[in-house]
Chains A and B, each alone.
Chain A
């Protein structure tokens, strides 16, 4: 079955710097890759997603890249701000997997003032 590895598990960056979180997946049939952000005391919330027919997608300060050949995808946050501090989860699924979405183990991002 699908397995999603996420690194690093913790990340601390200076406010204003960039943060990068990386994930790899095992199932070559995976074609949908969402990223969720979980703030303290809340459930995960979708922040950006990418489908396998594109290599990059941007939304203001966040971007996601996908390399299908290498089976890895990354989240990039630029000009980090205190409100970016949270746990970030990558995930992978395929259109054929119905309700099965596999999450990574999460990255705790801390923004230093």
Chain B
């Protein structure tokens, strides 16, 4: 395993629900990331945290709200989602926020919005 865990692995939610995705890394890394993976599209970087501070927000709609309480945990809070938000959400971590460090990915949460 990569040392990055994500829960839940699968999530089905209605458009009016509120849910949260959880990510935990056991690697002692300083940077954590949320990506969205849709079929036949490149991975889309959503948020980057470095030492618990958000350093990048790639024009993500406000219905996605990240939280990083410490350097080992990352959450993605979801509310009022749209069907097009259905995708695989991947969490990753790296030693540092520099893009030239290897990123370690979790297995992802498969989200379906009904």
Q: A89-B43, A98-B55, A100-B56 are in contact. Are A43 and B105 (CB under 8 A)?
A: yes
Q: A43-B4, A43-B92, A45-B105 are in contact. Are A101 and B42 (CB under 8 A)?
A: no
12 sample A-B contacts, Cβ–Cβ < 8 Å, listed by A number: A44-B103, A46-B103, A95-B99, A99-B33, A99-B45, A99-B50, A99-B55, A99-B56, A99-B99, A101-B103, A105-B41, A105-B42
The answer to the question of A103 belonging to the interface, with a C-beta cut-off of 8 Å to chain B, is yes
Across the interface, which residues of B come within 8 angstroms of A95, CB to CB? 98-100
Closest to B102 in A: A46
**Bound form: Cα–Cα A43–B23 in Å:** 13
The answer to the question of A97 belonging to the interface, with a C-beta cut-off of 8 Å to chain B, is yes
The answer to the question of A110 belonging to the interface, with a C-beta cut-off of 8 Å to chain B, is no
Interface size on B, residues (CB 8 A): 26
Across the interface, which residues of A come within 8 angstroms of B99, CB to CB? 32, 93-95, 97-101
B90 and A34 contact, CB distance less than 8 A = no
**Bound form: Cα–Cα A43–B34 in Å:** 12
Kindly supply a per-residue 1/0 record for chain B positions 70-114, scoring 1 wherever the CB is within 8 Å of any chain A CB and 0 otherwise: 000000000000000000001010000111101111111000000
A44 and B107 contact, CB distance less than 8 A = no
Known: A36-B105, A43-B105. 5 other contacts (CB 8 A): A42-B107, A46-B103, A100-B45, A100-B99, A106-B42
Most buried by B among A43, A97, A101, A103: A43
Across the interface, which residues of B come within 8 angstroms of A11, CB to CB? none
The answer to the question of A9 belonging to the interface, with a C-beta cut-off of 8 Å to chain B, is yes
